[in-house]
Amino acid sequence: LLQLWAPLQFLGFFYRELRQSLVDMEAMFDIMSTESKIPDGAVELPESAGGAELELDDVSFAYGNGRDVLKGVSLKLKPGESVGIVGPSGSGKSTLLRLILRVYDVTSGKVKLDGHDVRELTLSSLRDSVAVIPQDTVLFNDTLEHNIRYGRPTASEEQVAMAATRARLDKTIEQMPNGRQTMVGERGVKLSGGEKQRVAIARAFLREPRMLVADEATSALDTATEQGILESLEDVARGRTAVFVAHRLSTVRSCDRIIVMEQGKIVEEGTHAELLDGRSRGSKIGMYAAMWKAQAQEEEENNQKPDDLVL
């Protein structure tokens, strides 16, 4: 029974991560049944200190109702490179993350890690290699220490403390009645959205994955919190291959590359600077620049104090 317990606990963790990050609560049952249909591969993705090479080769995907939500997406990331994915709601950003994690398998084309089709890899080695920073981190009714340690149950106290510091949770911890031993979650101290995200980042620091996948929450954080989280995310992504799905364009500004998606296709691609000054590539040059302008304007309006508003 004990032998079964560990993998079950791991699976439970993985489902929770997925539930938090990449799917609607309502879609959970779908995922569970899809999950069981995903056949395991035989190749172990080697554990190594460096980032993994990620390639999407002409990937198309439909959820089963026939309509392709991804259409011929190709993308190659060198080990350690980061990519930001932006685009309108429903353009397929989260779906792309789900295919990398093999929540679903491609309809056609290939997703490859270090040259291996992900379908050939063991699910455990694939998921051990990737840390997910979900949209909304659900905390267990347990201590903060336990919640962070979930990233790597065998981690020492020092390693947990170090991960908390690197995720910049140390100030939060200082203010708690029992430090890291404080109960959090529904029945304990409630953490803010930003603090919960930091718990996910601390878990990722502990896991030292080869790849990082982050799905940004749509809910707004205040500018200072957002900036702090962004810095922690950049820290944890350093040296790893990273895919950031973002709604706020400032999140992906410093990524090595940014892709803009629309209706399941990559329509524009480049660095932030290239995208802003028309040196980008793709069928919709200028789309990112327009989105950037619109967001800047929106922020300016939101930052206006009531007194400043002309009625």
Give the Cα-Cα-Cα angle 192, 196, 200 (nearest 5 degrees): 165
Backbone φ and ψ for 221, nearest 5 degrees, come out as -105, 160
**Would you give the distance in Å from CA 280 to the centre of its chain?**
25
CB of 18 to ligand ATP, least distance (A): 12
Q: Which two tokens stand for residue 212?
A: 């990082």
Distance, CA of 269 to CA of 56 (rounded, Å)? 15
Distance, CA of 213 to CA of 134 (rounded, Å)? 8
For ligand ATP, the closer CB: 3 or 219: 219
For ligand ATP, the closer CB: 161 or 217: 217
Binding flag, residue 92, ligand ATP (CB under 6 A)? yes
CB of 194 to ligand ATP, least distance (A): 20
Q: Which two tokens stand for residue 13?
A: 């963790």
Q: Whats the size of the chain, residue-wise?
A: 311
Binding flag, residue 19, ligand ATP (CB under 6 A)? no
- Please answer whether residues 238 and 49 qualify as being in contact, where contact means their C-beta atoms are separated by less than 8 angstroms: no
Distance, CA of 76 to CA of 130 (rounded, Å)? 17
* Among the listed residues 15, 30, 124, 179, the single contact to ligand ATP using CB under 6 A: 30
Distance, CA of 272 to CA of 282 (rounded, Å)? 14
**Among the candidate windows 35-43, 73-81, 82-90, 118-126, which touches ligand ATP by CB under 6 A?**
82-90
**Among the candidate windows 40-48, 92-100, 153-161, 301-309, which touches ligand ATP by CB under 6 A?**
92-100
CB of 69 to ligand ATP, least distance (A): 4
Distance, CA of 282 to CA of 265 (rounded, Å)? 10
For ligand ATP, the closer CB: 62 or 138: 62
Please tell me the count of residues contacting ligand ATP according to CB under 6 A: 12
Strands 211-215 and 265-270, bridge-based pairing: unpaired
* Among the listed residues 18, 54, 59, 69, the single contact to ligand ATP using CB under 6 A: 69
CB of 59 to ligand ATP, least distance (A): 13
Binding flag, residue 94, ligand ATP (CB under 6 A)? yes
Binding flag, residue 63, ligand ATP (CB under 6 A)? yes
Question: Which residues make up the interface to ligand ATP (CB under 6 A)?
Answer: 27, 30, 63, 69, 87, 89-95
